[in-house]
Every structure is written in structure tokens, then in C-alpha cells.
Amino acid sequence: MTMATRRRHIHHKLARSVFWGTTLLAAVISVVFWVGELKRSSDKTAVMLNQLLDTVESTAAIAAYSGNRQIGEDVLKGLLRNDIVHSAQISNGQGLELAVVRSTEVPRQDAVVRLLHSPFADGEVVGRLKVVPEARFTLQEARHSALVGALNSVILIAITALMVVGLVRALLTQPLVRVSARLHDIKAGDANRLEALARHRDDELGQLVEDINGLLETLEEKFTAEHQLRQEVQGMERQLRGIFETTSAGIFQLDGGGVLLTANPSLGRVLRWPAGIPGQDLENPLDNWLLKRSADGFFALKETV
């Protein structure tokens, strides 16, 4: 007794493969996205910081030049209102030392330092403005971008995978199932053939159906030829059997050891065997004969002949 195996569909296998493949791909893409976005976001933050410093540079220079604390504090407070700034510091080397810092625990990042030049004398450095970027902002940016990128990838891949699975099911699995069911109904040598699949006459499935029909055609021809051959053989056998059994000549067959294998009834009559010996039993002469003959009888018969 054989257990029925659970049949699995191609599109289900494909769906599983696509699922794991896309999951792995999405994970790899997410990591690559995150690393790339972290770098890009860090560069972007540096650019934004420099733009921010461009905006406040002239005012900060006035604060540094004049040693004006109020202007300096205003500049630093304004800088700290931006999410990308973690801390800011302004100094002029002549007693003005101002700093503001955000109360977040973040890993240290490279500070952006801008030298402040005198508003009135070209080239004279009157102070320094130092800004540390907010790492949390960079991380958030990178994480957000990576998440969005990964989600986009997953959605696109999932939609594509579903479309592929659906198309494979519609264009391959279902036609194959129909072909298989129809093939099961056809017996060997039968004259029935597979019907051509609509919409698949010109593709590989249409070719497969044609090939199967060709195979069925060949099979039917072989069966027919074999049937005819068998009938001819049977006719010849009957004819030869008739000759063997009705000829007046005694015919017999010995094996290599001299054992009599078979003999026709005429041999019995020629040798005057008693009634009931094999050869007269026309229904199964060979079996009866072989069962009843002994080796001694054979050699006696041989000498007699």
C-alpha cells in the first residue's frame, strides 16, 4: 500500500522561493541603503551646517570683533534652534567665550569650525565659530531614508513577485494541470489526443502538447503493428500446430542430453505406443509427455529408433 503524496504546485514553490529571495534581497538592500544614507546624510549635514554658518557669519564676526556678548548669544541660540546643531561655540581670544549645547547624549562628531574675519579689515581673524553637528539628526535621517528605501524595494519586489507567481500560475501551472488531467484519461494505444491549448498554440506548451500527441500517435501505431504481428504469429502457430499434429510423419524433439522433449501423435502411432501416452492428448501433449517419460524409457526408445 503506497501513501498518497501531497502534490505541490509550481507556483507555490515559486512563491516560496520568491518570498525568501525577496526577503534576503530587501535585507541586503536595507543595509546597503543605511550605510549609504548615513554617509550621504553626514555629508548633507556638513553642507547644511556650512550654509548655516554662512548665514550667521557676518553677525558672528561683529560679535567677535566688538566683543559683544549679546550678539554672540543671539547667534548661538539661533544656531541651536536648528536640529542639525548639537553645540555651538564662539570665541574671540579677547575674553569673549560663549557656548551653547543641546542636552542629548550622542556620539561625538567632527566639528565644523569657521574662522571669523574682521568686518572692516580684510584677512584679519577676530574670532572662531565652532559648531558640532547633531549625530541624532544624522542617524534619524539615515534611518528614515533607509527605511523608506527598503519599504519601496520590498513593495516593488513583492508586487513583482506576486505578478510573476500569478502569471506562472495562469500561463504554466494551470495549462499543465489540464494537460496532465487529459493525459490521465487517455489509455495507451488509444486514438484520443490532447486538445490544443488556447492561447498556447505558438509557445512551448503548444509544442509540448504537439509532442505528446506525436508520442501518442507513435504509440498507437506501435500497438496496432504489434497487435497485427501477434495475430499473424498466432495464425502461423495454429497452422504449424496443425501440421505437427496431423502429419503422418513422426516428429519429435530431443534436448542435448538425449531427453525427449516433445513428439507428435504420429510418432506414437509409428512406434505403437499404448493409448493414453502423450501425443494422443491433443489438449496438452507436451506437459503430459514430459511428466510420464523417464530416462530409462528414453534410452530404450533411442536404441529402438
Partner 1 sequence: MNWKPLPPVLLLLSSAAAADVAVIANVRNPLDGLTGKQVQDIFLGRTRSFPNDRFALPIDQSSPLRSEFYQRLTGRSLEQINAYWARILFTGQASPPLRVPDDAAVLRTIRENEGAIGYIDKSQADGSVRVLLILP
Interface contacts to partner 1, rule CB under 8 A: 59, 62, 65-71, 74, 119-122, 124
Cell 512563491 locates to 15
Closest of 253, 248, 241, 250 to residue 282, by C-alpha = 241
Cell 501423435 locates to 265
Residue 87 beta carbon to partner 1: minimum distance, rounded to whole angstroms: 23
Residue 54 beta carbon to partner 1: minimum distance, rounded to whole angstroms: 17
DSSP 93: S
Gap between the Cα atoms of 138 and 49, Å rounded: 12
Give the nearer residue to partner 1 in terms of CB position, either 44 or 69.
Answer: 69
Give the nearer residue to partner 1 in terms of CB position, either 32 or 121.
Answer: 121
Give the nearer residue to partner 1 in terms of CB position, either 66 or 280.
Answer: 66
Residue 117 beta carbon to partner 1: minimum distance, rounded to whole angstroms: 13
3-state helix, strand, coil in the chain (%, to 5): 60, 10, 25
Give the nearer residue to partner 1 in terms of CB position, either 63 or 260.
Answer: 63
Give the nearer residue to partner 1 in terms of CB position, either 23 or 58.
Answer: 58
Residue 122 beta carbon to partner 1: minimum distance, rounded to whole angstroms: 7
Gap between the Cα atoms of 35 and 42, Å rounded: 11
Gap between the Cα atoms of 136 and 142, Å rounded: 10
Contact 175, 200 (CB under 8 A): yes
Give the nearer residue to partner 1 in terms of CB position, either 124 or 195.
Answer: 124
Burial of 41 (0-12, 13-18, 19+ CB in 10 A): buried
Gap between the Cα atoms of 88 and 130, Å rounded: 6
Residue 118 beta carbon to partner 1: minimum distance, rounded to whole angstroms: 9
Residue 108 beta carbon to partner 1: minimum distance, rounded to whole angstroms: 33
